[in-house]
Amino acid sequence: MIIIGGSYAGLSAAMALGRSLRKVLIIDGGIPCNRQTPHSHNFLTRDGDTPQAISIIAREQVLRYKTVQFIEDIAVNARQLEKGFEISTQKGPAYTTNKLVIASGIKDIHPDIMGFSECWGISVIHCPYCHGYEFRHKKTAIIANGERAAHLAMLVSNLTNQLTILTNGVAAFEAEQLQKFRDRDITITENKITEILHTNGHVQQISFEDASIQSFDAVYAAIPFIQHSDLPTQLRCELTEQGHIKTDSFQKTTTPGVFACGDGASPMRSIANAVYSGNMAGSMINAELCKEQF
């Protein structure tokens, strides 16, 4: 079995497979999406730990199963064979496998705003469940427009009543949405953002093209993403409209023998969901193999 990606989803799949005596090779590039966030939240038993601490203990526990191997490398090509798949990597030889798990996650595309990348995961955040509590009752901006901004405003207004939506261009809202914003004193700024001014990733102010400046303690940003690896495309796995790998409730993709889990295969972005879906993928692959062999 080969698992592409050895973060939370990949390790979780490996644990289910290792405990089922399956021979597993995890290939991991070592750059999980949450690497810059100082503390991870909302995952039972590990609330407030660093993302790295969670991965280290997960890897240590998974690698206790002698049939599981972990290599640091990047899978670059996937080829479908008559039976199974061939995966070639940047450093190593080509590996073959009968079933494949894609747990390679997604890559966030940062906007061209000075200071954005430095603050990402520290005070510019994507999710109220992961980091909203830490910024409760604070002066907060939402960088987004249209439906995504309205959705975030609905969630974040539960955590603070000092909310401004920065549309970074002409606002695109329905009359009903605008009324809800007015009822809750949520203001809208359409000015083009030039810079997020910060200290070590902690937002202080946001400056705009018209030279105005506003102060904030936290910023939510709804930004686009792409699959972290193009292996799903190489293997002709269908994607959803949003860009996630399409799976059924057992994490099977539309390409037989290929399973997908974690962020790459779900809009519910959290460690808990990555662990859940990885566990499901691992268990379902084992069940499929048992069925084939029984």
Site residues, ligand FAD (CB under 6 A): 4-10, 27-34, 36-37, 40-43, 74-75, 103-105, 108, 120-121, 126, 130-131, 228-229, 262-263, 269-272, 274
User: How many angstroms separate the first and last alpha carbons of the chain?
Assistant: 18
Q: Report, in Å, the least distance between residue 9 CB and ligand FAD.
A: 3
- Of the pair 103, 218, the CB lying nearest ligand FAD is at 103
CB of 19 to ligand FAD, least distance (A): 19
Nearer to ligand FAD, 97 or 270 (CB): 270
Shortest distance, position 61 Cβ to ligand FAD, whole Å? 15
Q: C-beta of 168: minimal distance to ligand FAD in Å?
A: 20
Nearer to ligand FAD, 177 or 251 (CB): 251
Q: CB of 284: closest distance to ligand FAD in angstroms?
A: 17
Residue closer to ligand FAD, measured from CB, 6 or 18? 6
Shortest Cβ 111–ligand FAD spacing (Å): 15
The SS3 of residue 63 is coil
Q: What amino acid is encoded at 244 in this protein?
A: H
If we measure between CA atoms, which residue out of 204, 219, 192 comes closest to residue 112?
192
d(CA 143, CA 137): 18
In angstroms, give the least distance from the CB of 44 to ligand FAD.
Answer: 10
Q: What torsion do the CA atoms of 156, 159, 164, 167 make, to the nearest 10 degrees? A: -10
Q: Name which of 104 and 145 has its Cβ closer to ligand FAD.
A: 104
**Residue closest to ligand FAD when measured from CB atoms:** 262
Nearer to ligand FAD, 48 or 169 (CB): 48
Structure tokens at 41: 């939240």
Q: Please check whether residue 273 is in contact with residue 267, taking contact to mean a CB–CB distance below 8 angstroms.
A: no
Q: Decide if 73 contacts 95 (C-beta within 8 A).
A: no
Please state, in angstroms and rounded to a whole number, the distance separating the CA atoms of residues 100 and 5. Answer: 11
C-alpha dihedral sign at 129, 131, 132, 134: positive
Residues in the chain: 294
**Phi and psi based region of residue 146 (left: phi greater than 0; alpha: psi -120 to 50; beta: remaining):** left
Of 9 and 16, CB closest to ligand FAD: 9
